[in-house]
Amino acid sequence: MARTGKASLLIIFVTVFIDLLGFGIIMPLLPRYGKHFIVDDANGFILGMLMASFSAMQFLFAPIWGRISDRAGRRPILILGLAGSTISYALFGLATSWDPATTVWGLSPLAWLFLTRIGAGIAGATISTAQAYVADVTDSKGRGKGMALIGAAFGIGFTFGPLIGAFFVGDNPDAPPSPMPGYVASIMSGLALLFAIVRLPESLTEQSHVSHRGWLNFGSFANAVTKPAIGPILLCIFLATLAFAQLESTLALLTQHFDMSARDNFYVFAYIGLILMIAQGGLIRALIPRVGEKRMATAGVFLMVIGLGLLAFVADGGTRLQMYLILPISVVGFAAFNPSIQALLSLRSAQTDQGGILGLGQSMSSIARILGPIIGIVLFESHVQYPYWCSALVMLIAGGLVFLIAPARHEDVGTPATDAPIAEEPATDAP
């Protein structure tokens, strides 16, 4: 990799990391903030929609930004996204400072929260453009390491964002929402914006080859799902993400159920982020080549079922300590399952269709992250145990599908098992 490529990778990593610190500050508090501003009885569905709005916008706009960046360049789209994040987070902070019963410009604070999350989702959809930037500045040998930097930015941002946010909220569980996390997140994205304006070069050149495929080819989608080597894996990806999204979206409500303050809630999310970093960056990465992708995915299913089932027991009548001890089980399970099933998807895809097949896998994850919060929060409002029992059941179904995955001719090296052409890469979500 050329020196200029390494420098550009470092700059894009720093840019994405600083921006994701803002995401890590807002996401842990969003369910609590949304619940504070919902004034009617149908709060479970509305709160689920608030949580899902970010992922929905990412799913819709990531391919749009990608196509525009193919023509206008990566740098202006990334700068535009960072500017959008800065404004959205600032408006989020402002909206959370208003009284729930007031209206501003004819809109309730809850409506403003929806607008800020929609805006943040549209702006955050430029993460796929950041991945395209990495592809522009790396060769085939350095592509994997370059993409791993984006993943590392997610993990580190999701860990340290909550730690930063903890400094700006209080210890009183009954305190009203503070606008400070929104303002701090806006400052973080603003710093990333300034850094990109000053340091980030354009990655597209006259020699760059870009794709001009459509947003989503539904015929190819149906073709891939019906393939014995691909269909079960795609369903596994959808189900596992759906299960974990229910945990993510209800965790802040669960800590509130345990009378934990906003600061303690931040610490729980930082704790999860740290576990994910250690598991994905060290333990799982070292074990997969030794035990194989399918066995690792099976182990991930087992851990998620056990962890989610135990969490259901603890959610009703358990203690904070028990919650802290049990959470790592399902988190490590997801850390084991996700890269393993993504690797299986790649190993069973024809070399010429890698991008399309993996992009379809990301589409399944994106849809699951839209549906997961709605299902999870509605179930949580019915009973605190229900989303975790539901998630455990979903993972049991995913486990059955793992056994249906046809053996590859060489699992750890991978021989193409299908030649189905698929859609363009879709949205990439936050952890």
CA–CA separation, 317 and 257 (whole Å): 10
Query: Which of 171, 189, 212 is the last residue before a domain boundary?
Result: 212
Of 187, 160, 403, which Cα lies nearest the Cα of 267? 160
Residue 221: count other Cβ atoms within 10 Å of its Cβ: 18
pLDDT at residue 407 in the model: 59
* 378: containing domain: 218-431
**206 plus 254 within the same structural domain:** no
Structural domain count, the chain: 2
> Among the three residues 212, 230, 260, which one is the final residue of a domain in this structure?
212
Position 222 scores a pLDDT of 59
Domain end point (choices 162, 197, 212)? 212
For residues 350 and 28, is the Cβ–Cβ distance under 8 A?
no
Torsion of CA 182, 183, 184, 186, to 10 degrees: 90
What CATH number corresponds to the domain at position 206? 1.20.1250.20
Q: Do 112 and 136 lie in a common domain?
A: yes
Same domain, 320 and 180: no
CA pair distance 98, 196, nearest whole angstrom: 32
Clarify whether residues 128 and 207 are in a common domain. yes
- Residue in the structure block whose two tokens are 């796929």: 128
Q: What is the DSSP letter of 401?
A: H
> What pLDDT was estimated at residue 313?
96
Q: Say what the pLDDT of residue 139 is.
A: 78
Low-confidence ranges of the chain (pLDDT < 70): 1-5, 40-42, 140-141, 144, 206-229, 349-356, 358-359, 406-431
Residues 195 and 225 grouped into a single domain = no
pLDDT score at 422 = 32
Q: What is the pLDDT of residue 62?
A: 86
SS3 101: coil
Query: Are 246 and 329 in a shared domain?
Result: yes
